[in-house]
Structure 1
Amino acid sequence: MSRWKALSTELDPRVRQLLTQLRRLKDHSGLNMRQLAAKTGYSEKSWERYLGGRSLPPREAVEALARIGGVDPVRLLALHEVAADTWGGGRQHLDTSAPEGPAPDLVPELVPAPTVGPAARPDPETEPEPEPETEPESVTAARRSLRVALVAGAVALVLALSSAALLVMRLDDGDGEPAAAPLAVSTAAVPSPAPAYTCRVERTDGLWYAGISRTRDIELAYGAVGPEVAEAQCLLRRAGISPGGIDGMFGPLTQRAVKAFQTRAGLAVDGSIGPHTWKALRG
């Protein structure tokens, strides 16, 4: 097992939690840095930065290491999304570099967020008209606070379950003798992984649909989960703005894509999806 240098105390606790779990997966795999680089397509120096806390690894690197370690990548990706949302300021930066070579052992491939082309850039001389308020600001703030609390609770559950799973992993004790058999852990309370959604975009009666949901007025905001979110992610990608993965989770990447689309469409830029944004997405 590798002897790791202690992580900086300046790192956010959620970032430290992610890096601690990635270090354990790397140790459990039995690979050295060179072998890990060959398996994932990211260089040795990149992995030294990631696991040393100097750069936040990209989603693709986290998923690659999770698959090498034989664990479900969904929970680590949820933790990565929260860590990416808190990562920033000072000397910290998010590493968005692509791998130096192909990752031969990995089958699934996540679509990286492409750079928005010139057509998606807002006209600096055109200011979008603010959407008229339909409810008091106090009510809106209360709803957003509730959504944030629900997301925080879900993340805390994922962290607890991930820690329990890692504690029972088999680890090599260094002298060739296998470690004790892992304790039996009940999976009855483990939440199912996020469903995989497939975009089947087609135009019907002059409107765009992705084959997941036909809603045109449901309200979606940060923290929302479900097929309606996946439908919006597919339509954002059709419009040339990547929301990250099509996972049905309204996280920071999806919120960033919604704001970029609203700016381009001349809508009120609030990062949430309502009837006006649905109309623009389907039109």
Structure 2
Amino acid sequence: MRFVSPSSRQPLGSQGPRHPLLPPASTGRAGPPASKSPSGRPSERRIDGDPGSTGQNRAQGPALRRGNVVRWKALSPSLDANGRRFVSRLRLLKDRSGLSLVSLQAKTQFSDSSWERYLNGKVLPPSTAVEALARLSGEDVARLMELRDAAAKTWYTASDADSTPGSDTARGVAESEAPRIRAVALSLAAGGLLLSAAVSMLLVMDARQPNDGSNRGSTVDVGTYTCTYSRRGDELFAGNSTTTSRLVMLNSTGPDTAEVQCLLRRHKLSPGDIDGYFGQQTEAQVRRLQRQGHVPADGIVGEQTWTLLRHVE
């Protein structure tokens, strides 16, 4: 029988010594080799404003991706603490949603270039964009809007020079204010239409009023008049007007109307108060006098009706 020394035994599962020309055995799975730059460092690929997963510096703008880690660009120094806090939260929600800029464009009413400016802090996003991102990422809308309101109070106040025409800041202000400007424009247009309709109605009503030179439609001529009767030949006058042909009709006001009312009383008719206003009661009594005098009972005091009024016993 042959004895084997314990020190010469191979461990269980060992394959023993390998041939010097064979490659060493693998101890586990190996992934594809990482690409390297000529300097020997892992290569970096630029992301055009479309980061994927989050990294340690996700509060910086879309810039570089190292493996699966995305680093955002640094925010503009013009942003204060409130602006940085707000934009950083937007970036976090964008990363959490896993949506690309193209996907955000498809799911909202804002373009991918607009989202790139929002996430870079170049433009203050409008409220509708903030609400849309909150819903897509499952964020509390009220909480995110509070951050936006705080940022809006001091947005770019430290860098007024950036607000030149054509700059990103100027475009951002215009873009964020666009809904408010449209609302104001619509309100002004609606107000203009209402004003135009009111003026048109007033013109139509004024056109229906008779124009006989007796200041009709003026409340200044409505009041209390007195009747002081006197005769000139066979004609009677009440001391308010001496006309014998001026037209007086419904809604007329002034001394001519008061004269008609005084003369109607002398004909033992009841026009109401002597107030210088040709109302329906005065018109009814004029029609009654016209029927008595056998003239057209149209309720309008013209030359024929003045003759009836001034010739009274």
TM-score by length of 2: 0.32
Larger radius of gyration: 2
Q: Which has the higher contact order (CA 8 A, sep 6+)?
A: 1
